[in-house]
Amino acid sequence: MKLRKGDTILVISGNNAGKRGKIIQALPKSNKVVVEGINIRKKHVKPTQTAPQGGITEFPAPIDASNVMLVCNKCNTPVRIKINRLENGERVRVCRKCGREVS
Ligand SMILES: [Zn+2]
């Protein structure tokens, strides 16, 4: 998966299409990402010792990585990226639009 925690993404399909957000968790095994403010679900929580009030909490649920596009932090555009391997074996992600490295 080409997405990492901290990346800004644009949602391209589903209920949240067109929204931008920041990845707060990447789940490479299931090919999903959790994005700040996107795909908010409500969970009814019973009172426990750590949360004595219980009640309803809202949390962002994971969405499929194929439904989002990385927004290049250099040209501020949703782009496809390619992986370049440097001579020292390090992999860097390169924006296909502006050709610069996406950090
Ligand atoms: Zn770019």
| Residue 75 CA, ligand 1 centroid: distance in Å | 4
- pLDDT, tens digit, for every residue of 7-21? 999 999 988 999 999
Q: Say what the pLDDT of residue 54 is.
A: 87
Regarding whether 79 and 64 lie in a shared domain, the answer is no
- pLDDT, tens digit, for every residue of 40-63? 999 999 998 887 888 999 999 999
Regarding whether 18 and 53 lie in a shared domain, the answer is yes
Q: Say what the pLDDT of residue 103 is.
A: 73
Regarding whether 78 and 66 lie in a shared domain, the answer is no
| Residue 51 CA, ligand 1 centroid: distance in Å | 44
Contact between 83 and 103 (Cβ < 8 Å): no
Regarding whether 60 and 81 lie in a shared domain, the answer is no
Regarding whether 58 and 12 lie in a shared domain, the answer is yes
State the pTM of this model.
0.83
Total structural domains within the chain: 2
| Residue 5 CA, ligand 1 centroid: distance in Å | 18
Regarding whether 33 and 64 lie in a shared domain, the answer is yes
| Residue 79 CA, ligand 1 centroid: distance in Å | 7
**Structural domain boundaries, residue 87:** 74-103
| Residue 58 CA, ligand 1 centroid: distance in Å | 33
| Residue 78 CA, ligand 1 centroid: distance in Å | 8
Across the range 77-101, mean pLDDT stands at: 93
The secondary structure of the chain, three-state, reads CCCCCCCEEEECCCCCCCCEEEEEEEECCCCEEEECCCCEEEEEECCCCCCCCCEEEEEECCEEHHHEEEECCCCCCEECEEEEECCCCCEEEEECCCCCEEC
Regarding whether 86 and 97 lie in a shared domain, the answer is yes
Q: Say what the pLDDT of residue 20 is.
A: 96
Whether residue 37 has pLDDT greater than 90 = yes
- pLDDT, tens digit, for every residue of 18-31? 999 999 999 999 99
